[in-house]
Amino acid sequence: MPKLFYYQEKKILKQVDKQESELNKFISENWSNLFPQLIFIASEFPLKGNVRSIGNKSGRIDILAYNPKTTRFVIFELKREYDRNITEQVADYRDYVEDNFADVYLKSTQIYNATLPKFQEMDLRQIEIVLIAKKFSLVQIEKIKKNKENNITLIKYFWFENDLIFIDYLNNDPDEERIENLNSQKVRLVKEIVNQDPDIYEIDRFFNLKQASKELFIDFYNWLKQRGEVTITPTQSYLKVIFGNHTFSAIGYAGKVGSKQVLQINTNIDLTNVSGLLVQDRVREGKKKKGSLAPERFEIRLRNKEELNLMLKSIQEKIF
């Protein structure tokens, strides 16, 4: 039996008995915190006609909700205590919703103003079930855990004084799914890094958040690789590229400098006479050689892919 220790008052809180209606009210009023993955439709959703298989009674779904991820209705059945017939009762409600799906859909959208997808986009084949009670039998737990459709969730609750409620998912815990998804993303990223071209990894790490710089440089890098062997070495201020007898240096910018470049390529290939390119010669007649972050003589300042293509075309004509 779980115990809840209240640190401020230095005592163990007592469990209290509440009516099903109070449990329903608490869940409905705190829905966005308790079940943020589901859309609340209605509490005490009425079902007309012969709903129960025993006694031909009408009935009410304690809480009706909608799961956007699976596009299914979700039936919540709440019990104050252990009830060995809880699964049979909710099965009757499930069968009723399946047999009267159109009526339930229209009532949900027109009377309760629930935001649902178009009728034809709903999953008519299955209804999900959430059972909330203080206790479930081992037989019930094992039976539901073996359910191949995995569309029934069991939740135990314990209500303590000071209106504190402890909720325990026995299966289908959404937090576990989020952790599993997060771990899957991490595994996928690790696999991508392992399988990645080591040069691409270095490029990605060097340019970091300068996405525009990285995209232009990768185009430059791929263009070179199609024509020969390329070696990349990152330094603190530039990415050194060796291609045959030629060297290049790449420096990333965010487009906020005066000339608005996003990538600077330094090279010893003279492209100063190429119209449409921003090229600066660091060697100036009668003046001291202009300083630069990279060693090559000419600085080519690229602002977009069109200028990159023009540079590549000019290099092609010069060295091939």
pLDDT-based confidence at 16, cuts 50/70/90? confident
Together in a domain, 155 and 109: yes
pLDDT over 90 at 125, yes or no: no
Q: Which two tokens stand for residue 269?
A: 């290939």
Q: Is-above-0.75 flag for pTM?
A: no
138 shares its domain with 20: yes
Is 135 found in the same domain as 20? yes
Given this model, what pLDDT does residue 246 score?
95
Give the count of domains, the chain. 2
Q: Residue 266 falls within a domain, yes or no?
A: yes
Q: Does 1 have pLDDT greater than 90?
A: no
pLDDT at 202: 86
Mean pLDDT, all residues of the chain: 86
Residues 8 and 95 in one domain: yes
Same domain membership, residue 127 and residue 49: yes
Q: What is the pLDDT of residue 63?
A: 95
What is the mean predicted confidence (pLDDT) over 47-67?
77
Do 34 and 65 lie in a common domain?
Answer: yes
Of 2 and 66, the structure prediction assigns the larger pLDDT to: 66
Same domain? For 153 and 205 the reply is: no
Least confident range of 21-25, 97-101, 144-148, 220-224: 144-148
Residue 188 lies in a domain: no
Would residue 190 count as lying in a domain? no
Mean pLDDT check: name the lowest of 49-58, 67-76, 256-265, 284-293: 49-58
pLDDT at site 102: 92
- Clarify whether residues 60 and 159 are in a common domain: yes
Picking from 150, 302, 142, the residue whose alpha carbon sits closest to that of residue 215 is 302
pLDDT digits (tens, 9 = 90+) for 72-107: 999 999 987 776 777 788 888 888 899 899 999 999
Domain co-membership, 261 together with 306? yes
Q: Which domain holds residue 122?
A: 4-175
Domain presence at residue 185: no
Is the pLDDT at 255 greater than 80? The verdict is no
Euclidean distance between the first and the last CA atom of the chain, given in angstroms as a whole number = 80
Whether 186 maps to a domain, the answer reads no
What is the C-alpha radius of gyration for the chain, rounded to an integer number of angstroms?
33
- The pLDDT of residue 131 is above 80: yes
* pLDDT score, position 42: 95
